């Protein structure tokens, strides 16, 4: 075993650490297969710490001098960042003991796929690394206990650049269904806890730091697993998109989320700050207070956009009375009281809100057969009559001005049906004195205005004063 | 004088939050003005001898106005187009909420405005008196009860009703039950004023000398599948102790299954012994589709201090349905229709033929071209008793971000009347723009041109164009400690 391990380690050191350099300068090892009989002739650093791992440009010029071979201008690249714990120095003694002094054989064991020709070089033959370390899975599926064998946590891999971090491959576990849930990556992150414990799984720490988790977790400062990670802004190079749980996609989620939140906000406070709730809730429910407030050191978490509940359909403004009266607290969650008053007690200066632009011109049709109750928001006297009087339609002296309703010449004598159907419209211009000219039992012509459903006895029992307007003190008995 | 009152209200509204040692406050200040014209009629008369008979037998003045002549009268009446009244109502409004105030659970709400009309010849409705308080109350909320004192608007199936007084609410949160009672001095319907105010009685009609005492009860029950409320309200004359009104009402929302729900309610007038307005609808609502099918009954309501209730206004019954459909991510369509018929008016009118039924229909759609561009188009037609209307409306909105938006729109309207020869044809085109100047300041501006023709077969027809405008500034202020939430909010009773 040790005979295998040693050359593998050596090979890994040679191949992986300068991998970027090899890829960067595109040195073609195979093309030079007949030139170099050993590896350490160029890579002397693999054997001796005081020597460089890569050859100098002068070494190339020994052949590429413009005479023997064309001149090349090559210089060894600077050391690339890495998160490997491996160094040649640590493994040298063991490698040489097992592979003898023939370092080339040791190098081939790791850098050359089995059965390949001399100088067929790869950065590392990973399965052989893993086999040597006793890892029986694919590299990225290695157990948590194995990662730290070769890899430093991200925060300690100080030579890595953000670009390198961004290129970290994602393990297959990250594509598993449910990975984004608490039972997925959350459980995996806590998997290290136990007798041989880590506060956070080393596999997570290899690629991630607190900043990454805080992208979604607004409770990161209060979560021990996340706090066990170091802080490192390079972790933000790996982008992540916060995905809403499946429950949030349910059609009635807006309606039902309050009930869940009132039971517990433990799940909510993973991704949501109080700011999320205040996006919609004008008057914050008590449950909001159990969430964390946004602020320095805490990520933004889920970004909430205000949206209409499904129940608020196009005609909701005309039918909202029933739900609003039976559960006003629900409305108050998102609507400030001034919003209700803007319509129900609008000011004289009113930008179009409830009514369409042309409503002033259109309002006779809406008023004659009311689609809604005008007097919920408008006082018939202060609003309707005030305007109609100024428009010449009132009768401030109590005198009927005949001739306005000129479609029917006999309208004055036959207005009964129109009046009973649209009495509210009549009273937007006419006052009682107009009608009592004819309909009063005392002073008028005695035309009886009472119609279907009139219960004089009942009305008199509630307010006899109304009866005396027409009947004086001699109110006839309904019996 | 008017400017001084305006300035006073603004100053008080700004100083109040600073003066009060509140844990927090929200204040919305707004100021707006609009310019609008309206034009009515002028009644006139002419001696019978001066009336001329036209070729088709109708009677007119010598200059072509149709006249109405009653048998035996020496004069005939006619109506000519009235003067153009141009008004410029202006409003400065403050809506303030304060909480904390050293006592967790205590909240103060104030909403009022100062208003005036810069035109002295005519005034826009609602501009008098110059100072009006919509609401102003203090509320203390404990986990199981809430007490309110001041001017408050009660909203429910019995309508939005204002009063000066107190309200006590008790809650049993675990059972979803709440019971509320209130008593006070009632305000006039749809108004911030008392019934004794001359502004609500411009024609000096018979109205009570005192505002009534109002008392009511509201009970609500909420569960995951149902929300139910019941209301009782009475108004009583302070001197005579006679009733001004006595009504009960109930509302319910039942979530039956999935996306289906039933919403409805009814009013019963205990004073007259008659059922009032009522409705019931089956609703199907998802984010993509909304369907409503329902029944509706509309019955007018009059207090007992008027005689109008004794004139037996009849209700109408309606069936209606609506559909809204999110056809694609960008296109939403909607359609609504209603047909209604009045109940038997039980009156003979042999000389006139008046419709006792009608219908309404509207269809429209909204298309979202992009995040910035949106267009909307709609058509509406209404045929009923007294009047009818039909017309198109459309608009295009450009709103590239939350900072500003601009909309151009157009409307067409045809509005014939049933009881008078008058068909208004109106064409409107205009724009409205809004800008969020700062985080807490927004400005809106509207301008529109109205081309109106009033078509009649006599000289009383006219063409009239006008430009209307409006401008509004809204400023909002909040205490800086909104986050984290103050105790006044985190200690709120359950259910809030």
Residue A1 pLDDT? 44
Q: What is the pLDDT of residues A6-31, one digit of tens each?
A: 444 444 444 444 443 344 446 788 88
Given pLDDT bands bounded at 50, 70 and 90, which one contains residue A398? Answer: low
Q: How much of chain B exceeds pLDDT 70, in percent?
A: 92
pLDDT, position A99: 62
Query: Residue A3 has what pLDDT?
Result: 46
pLDDT at B484: 53
The answer on pLDDT for B361 being more than 70 is: yes
- CB contacts of A319 in chain B (<8 Å) are 263, 279, 281, 292
> Is A413 in Cβ contact with B243 (below 8 Å)?
no
Q: What is the rounded CA–CA span in Å between residue A432 and residue B204?
A: 10
Is the CB of B203 less than 8 angstroms away from the CB of A323?
Answer: no
pLDDT tens, A281-310? Answer: 776 777 888 888 887 778 888 888 777 787
Verify whether the Cβ–Cβ distance B265 to A402 is below 8 Å. Answer: no
Q: Shortest CA distance to A376 belongs to which of B300, B151, B89, B133?
A: B300
Among the partner residues A348, A350, A418, nearest to B419 by beta-carbon distance: A418
Interface A-B: count of C-beta contacts within 8 A: 478
How far, in Å, CA of A354 to CA of B381, rounded? 18
Give the nearest chain A residue to B95 (CA atoms). A338
Q: Do A403 and B77 touch (CB under 8 A)?
A: yes
Give the pLDDT confidence of B39-70 residue by residue, as tens digits.
888 989 999 999 999 888 889 999 999 998 88
How far apart are the CA of B408 and the nearest CA of chain A, in angstroms? 12
In tens, the pLDDT along A100-139 reads 666 666 777 677 787 788 888 887 778 877 877 788 888 8
- What's the pLDDT score for residue A10? 42
The predicted pLDDT at position A303 comes to 81
**B170: closest CA among B143, B144, B139?**
B144
d(CA A353, CA A423): 27
Task: Indicate the pairing of strand B226-236 with strand B213-223.
Answer: antiparallel
Per-residue pLDDT at A231 exceeds 80: yes
Mutate to test the interface with A, among B58, B134, B311, B427 (most CBs of A within 10 A): B311
Phi, psi of A461 (to 5 degrees): -65, -25
Of B309, B419, B490, the CB nearest to A286: B490
Contacts of B64 in chain A (CB under 8 A): none
pTM of the model as a whole: 0.77
Of A52-66, A194-208, B92-106, B222-236, minimum mean pLDDT range: A194-208
Q: For residue A177, give both structure tokens.
A: 């269904």
The pLDDT assigned to A145 comes to 74
Higher-confidence residue of B494 and B91: namely B91
Contacts of A414 in chain B (CB under 8 A): 349-352
What confidence score (pLDDT) does residue B496 get? 40
Predicted confidence band at B22 (pLDDT cuts at 50, 70, 90)? Answer: low
Report, as an integer, the average pLDDT of A173-177: 87
Question: What pLDDT does residue A92 have?
Answer: 66
Mean pLDDT value of segment A251-264: 81
Residue A193 has what pLDDT?
53
What per-residue confidence (pLDDT) applies to B130? 94
**Which residues in chain B have Cβ-Cβ distances shorter than 8 Å to A374?**
190
Cβ contact (<8 Å) for B307 and A466?
yes
Q: Is B17's pLDDT higher than 60?
A: no
Handedness of CA B8, B13, B15, B20 (dihedral sign): positive
- B414-458 pLDDT, tens digit each: 999 888 888 999 999 999 999 998 878 999 999 999 999 999 989
Our CA dihedral for B115, B119, B120, B124, rounded to 10 degrees, sits at: -60
d(CA B463, CA B426) in angstroms, rounded, equals 10
Which range is least confidently modeled, A96-105, A235-244, A256-265?
A96-105
- Is A458 in Cβ contact with B273 (below 8 Å)? yes
- Interface confidence (ipTM) of the complex: 0.89
Shortest Cα–Cα distance, B382 to chain A (Å) = 7
Confirm if B74 and B48 have CB atoms less than 8 A apart.
yes
Q: Token digits for A287?
A: 């449950």
Q: Taking each helix axis from N to C terminus, what angle separates A103-111 and A88-99, rounded to the nearest 10 degrees?
A: 110
Lowest-confidence region among B20-29, B336-345, B377-386: B20-29
pLDDT above 70 for B36: yes
Contact B226, A326 (CB under 8 A): no
Please report which helix (H) or strand (E) contains residue B377, including its range. Answer: strand B373-383
Buried-state track A173-209, b at ≥16 Cβ within 10 A, e below 16: eeeeeebbeeeebbebbbbbeeeeebebbbbbbbbbb
**Share of residues in chain A with pLDDT > 70 (%):** 87
- Burial profile B120-140: b = 16 or more Cβ within 10 angstroms, e = fewer: eebbbbbbbebebebbebebe
First to last CA, chain B: 43
Select from A312, A357, A416 the residue whose CB has the most chain B CBs within 10 Å, as the one to mutate to test that interface. A357
How many CB atoms are located within 10 Å of the residue B465 CB?
A: 11
Whether A338 and B191 lie within 8 Å, measured CB to CB = no
pLDDT digits (tens, 9 = 90+) for B290-329: 999 999 999 999 999 999 999 999 999 999 999 999 999 8
Mean pLDDT of B332-347: 95
Contact A455 B272 (CB under 8 A): yes
């Amino acid at each position: 075993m040790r005979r295998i391990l040693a050359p593998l380690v050596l090979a890994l050191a040679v191949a992986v650490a300068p991998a970027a350099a090899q890829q960067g300068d595109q040195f073609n090892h195979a093309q030079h297969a007949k030139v170099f009989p050993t590896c350490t002739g160029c890579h002397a650093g693999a054997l001796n710490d005081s020597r460089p791992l890569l050859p100098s440009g002068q070494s190339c010029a020994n052949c590429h001098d413009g005479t023997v071979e064309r001149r090349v201008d090559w210089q060894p690249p600077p050391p690339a960042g890495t998160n490997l714990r491996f160094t040649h120095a640590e493994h040298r003694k063991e490698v040489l003991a097992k592979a003898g002094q023939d370092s080339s054989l040791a190098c081939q064991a790791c850098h050359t796929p089995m059965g390949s020709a001399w100088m067929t070089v790869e950065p590392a033959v990973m399965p052989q690394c893993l086999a040597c370390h006793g890892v029986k899975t694919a590299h990225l599926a290695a157990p948590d206990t194995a990662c730290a064998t070769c890899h430093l946590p991200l925060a300690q891999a100080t030579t890595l650049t953000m670009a390198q971090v961004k290129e970290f491959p994602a393990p297959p576990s990250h594509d598993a269904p449910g990975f984004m849930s608490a039972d997925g990556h959350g459980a995996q992150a806590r998997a290290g806890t136990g007798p041989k414990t880590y506060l956070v799984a080393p596999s997570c720490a290899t690629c991630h730091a607190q900043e990454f988790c805080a992208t979604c977790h607004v409770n990161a400062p209060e979560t021990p697993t996340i706090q066990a990670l170091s802080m490192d802004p390079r972790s933000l190079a790996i982008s992540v998109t916060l995905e809403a749980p499946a429950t949030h996609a349910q059609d009635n989620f807006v309606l039902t989320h309050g009930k869940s939140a009132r039971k517990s906000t433990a799940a909510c406070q993973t991704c949501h700050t109080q700011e999320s709730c205040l996006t919609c809730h004008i008057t914050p429910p008590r449950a909001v207070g159990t969430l964390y407030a946004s602020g320095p050191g805490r990520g933004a978490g889920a970004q909430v956009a205000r949206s209409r509940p499904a129940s608020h359909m196009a005609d909701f403004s005309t039918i909202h009375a029933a739900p609003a009266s039976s559960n006003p607290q629900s409305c108050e969650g998102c609507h400030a009281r001034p919003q209700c008053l803007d319509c129900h007690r609008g000011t004289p200066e009113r930008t179009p809100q409830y009514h369409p632009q042309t409503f002033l011109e259109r309002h006779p049709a809406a008023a004659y057969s009311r689609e809604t109750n005008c007097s919920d928001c408008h006082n018939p006297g202060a609003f309707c009559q005030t305007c109609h009087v100024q428009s010449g339609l009132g009768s401030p002296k109590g005198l009927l001005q005949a001739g306005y309703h000129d479609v029917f010449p006999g309208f004055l004598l036959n207005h009964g049906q129109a009046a009973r159907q649209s009495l509210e419209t009549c009273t937007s211009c006419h006052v009682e004195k107009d009608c009592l000219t004819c309909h009063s039992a005392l002073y008028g012509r005695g035309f009886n205005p009472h119609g279907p459903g009139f219960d004089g006895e009942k009305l008199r029992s509630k307010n006899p004063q109304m009866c005396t307007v027409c009947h004086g003190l001699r109110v006839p008995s309904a019996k | 004088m008017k400017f001084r009152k305006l300035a006073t209200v603004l100053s008080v509204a700004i100083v109040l939050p600073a003066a009060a040692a509140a844990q927090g406050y929200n204040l919305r200040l707004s100021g707006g003005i609009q310019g609008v014209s309206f034009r009515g009629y002028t009644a006139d008369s002419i001696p019978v001898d001066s009336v001329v008979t036209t070729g088709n037998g109708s009677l007119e003045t010598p200059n072509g106005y149709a006249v109405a002549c009653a048998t035996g009268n020496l004069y005939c009446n006619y109506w000519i187009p009235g003067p153009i009244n141009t008004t410029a109502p202006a409003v400065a409004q403050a809506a303030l909420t304060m909480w904390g105030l050293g006592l967790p659970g205590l909240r103060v709400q104030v909403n009022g405005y100062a208003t005036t009309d810069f035109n002295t010849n005519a005034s826009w409705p609602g501009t008098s008196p110059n100072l009006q308080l919509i609401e102003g109350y203090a509320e203390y909320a404990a986990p199981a009860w809430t007490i309110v004192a001041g001017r408050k608007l009660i909203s429910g199936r019995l309508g939005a009703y204002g009063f000066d007084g107190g309200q006590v609410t008790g809650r049993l949160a675990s059972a979803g039950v709440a019971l509320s009672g209130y008593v006070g001095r009632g305000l006039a319907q749809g108004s911030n004023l008392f019934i004794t105010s001359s502004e609500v009685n411009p024609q000096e009609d018979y109205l009570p000398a005192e505002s009534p005492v109002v008392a009511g009860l509201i009970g609500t029950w909420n569960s995951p599948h149902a929300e139910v409320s019941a209301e009782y309200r009475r108004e009583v004359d302070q001197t005579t102790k006679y009733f001004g009104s006595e009504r009960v009402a109930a509302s319910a929302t039942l979530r039956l299954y999935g996306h289906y729900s039933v919403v409805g309610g009814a009013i019963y007038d205990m004073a007259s012994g008659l059922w009032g307005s009522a409705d019931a609808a089956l609703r199907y609502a998802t984010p993509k589709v909304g369907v409503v099918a329902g029944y509706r009954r509309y019955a007018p309501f009059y207090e007992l201090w008027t005689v109008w209730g004794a004139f037996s206004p009849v209700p109408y019954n309606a069936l209606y349905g609506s559909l809204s459909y999110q056809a694609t991510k960008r296109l939403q369509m909607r359609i609504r229709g209603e047909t209604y018929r009045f109940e038997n008016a039980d009156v003979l009118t042999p000389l006139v033929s008046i419709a006792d039924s009608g219908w309404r229909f509207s269809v429209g759609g909204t298309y979202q071209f992009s995040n910035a561009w949106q267009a909307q188009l709609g058509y509406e037609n209404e045929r009923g008793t007294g009047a009818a209307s039909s017309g198109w409306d459309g608009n295009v909105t450009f709103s590239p971000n939350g900072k500003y938006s601009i909309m151009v729109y157009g409307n067409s309207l045809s509005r014939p009347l049933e009881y008078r020869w008058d068909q208004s044809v109106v064409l409107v085109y205009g724009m409205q723009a809004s800008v969020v100047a700062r985080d807490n300041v927004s400005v809106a501006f509207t301008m529109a041109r109205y081309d109106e023709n009033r078509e009649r077969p006599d000289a009383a027809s006219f063409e009239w164009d006008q430009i209307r405008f409006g401008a509004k500034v809204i400023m909002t202020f909040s205490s800086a400690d909104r986050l984290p939430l103050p105790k006044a909010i985190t200690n709120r009773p359950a259910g809030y």
